[in-house]
Amino acid sequence: MQGKLRDVLGRLGREVVEDPELKSGLPDAVRAFLTGKQDLVEVSGELAHALRDSQNGSSSAGLLLVAAARLDNQSALLMVKLEQETGMQANEILTDGLRTFDMQYLANLLFTERSKVYKVALFSEEGMGGQKLQGWAADPQTSGKDVAQFFLERFLGCRHQNDPRELTRRFHDVAMDWVNSRFRTSDSDVRVDYLMAVMVELQSSAGALDPANFIETHLQEPHRDDFAEFLQTNDVPLRTFDKNTDLIGNRLQKVRVDLASGAFLVAPLEAVQDGTVAVKDLGDGRTTVTVTDTLANTSSGAAAGRPPKLPEQPVELPSQAETIPGLESILGAPTRSLRAKVVHSLPPAQT
């Protein structure tokens, strides 16, 4: 039982925090148990009714397990919604010297080898340190994504402690800072490899991001511990968290390479992946950036590769949505029409 629950919480556990606006009675019930004001039988009955009332008709039928537990040598309360199973039990008996079996139908089986854990929540004394109750929740039924709304909000009265959008943005920014600070004047190939690994990981269809697995999969052995420490120092957890790229989606479409001469290259991510743009470390501090493609256009000026607008075209101000990654602080100057005239209408002179 402990092994199965540890596995679920270890892989899918999300930090949650009480939200008083949701008006759930569970946080107060947990506090009452952890402070000794309610015993296990009382609190389990209260939580069973609360879970039943929070579910809708589409929720899977199951059983609620409420158990006293310990976490880091502190008292804790564990809540698990389990799959309700049935089965037959056979006991061999002898009748008139004949080998026979007594069959018994069991309606409520718990923790068989294939039984499913639907939902888990765990709160310990440590989570009562602040004004709001904090704990952990996991939902295997959502394949590693957000915990089901009815369980998280209506039953637990909680919300995710860390916004997945902010955590994803933080992982991206911290990873980029680490790449540029650790491989500033050498190992161009490694820098590009790690940059691409971060961008591909964030663009993958997976609903969750596991930094520990990312480190094991994409980083060379000598760099793993340093990157893990850098993440934790900058408030990025090594545990799995839900991925949401809403805040950085436009920054994952293009790769920018800046050179010491002042030249720079902005290319689609696919162009680096398929070899159209190649970066090679020469081993003496210099780097060769090669672009193998068909020349489509040439122009003067360097408005991030955009061709100049014709004079008769209307003025178009740059859009925030069109900002190229790495150029967030640079805005192009609007084109002025050469034919624009200013006409002032003056009143007739009076003497």
Q: What is the pLDDT of residues 254-312, one digit of tens each?
A: 888 788 888 887 878 777 778 888 878 777 778 888 888 888 787 776 555 454 454 55
12 Cβ contact list (under 8 Å, min separation 6): 138, 139, 140, 144, 240
Q: Which pLDDT score, from 0 to 100, does residue 222 have?
A: 93
What distance in Å separates the CA atoms of residue 73 and residue 57, rounded to the nearest whole number?
A: 39
Q: Which residues of the chain have pLDDT under 50?
A: 144, 305, 307-308, 310, 313, 315-346, 351
What distance in Å separates the CA atoms of residue 290 and residue 276, rounded to the nearest whole number?
A: 8
Q: Which pLDDT score, from 0 to 100, does residue 225 have?
A: 95
Q: Which pLDDT score, from 0 to 100, does residue 339 have?
A: 41
Q: Which pLDDT score, from 0 to 100, does residue 95 have?
A: 82
- Beta strand pairing call for 14-18 and 134-138: antiparallel
For residue 230, the one-letter residue type is F
What distance in Å separates the CA atoms of residue 264 and residue 188, rounded to the nearest whole number?
A: 15
What distance in Å separates the CA atoms of residue 84 and residue 87, rounded to the nearest whole number?
A: 11
- Beta strand pairing call for 134-138 and 158-160: unpaired
* b/e code 179-201 from CB counts within 10 Å (16+ = b): beebbeeebbebbbbbbebbbeb
Q: Which pLDDT score, from 0 to 100, does residue 344 have?
A: 45
Cβ atoms within 10 Å of 170's Cβ, excluding its own:
20
User: Of 82, 161, 151, whose CA–CA distance to 118 is shortest?
Assistant: 82
Q: Are 160 and 19 in contact (CB under 8 A)?
A: no
Q: Which pLDDT score, from 0 to 100, does residue 325 have?
A: 45
Q: Which pLDDT score, from 0 to 100, does residue 237 have?
A: 87
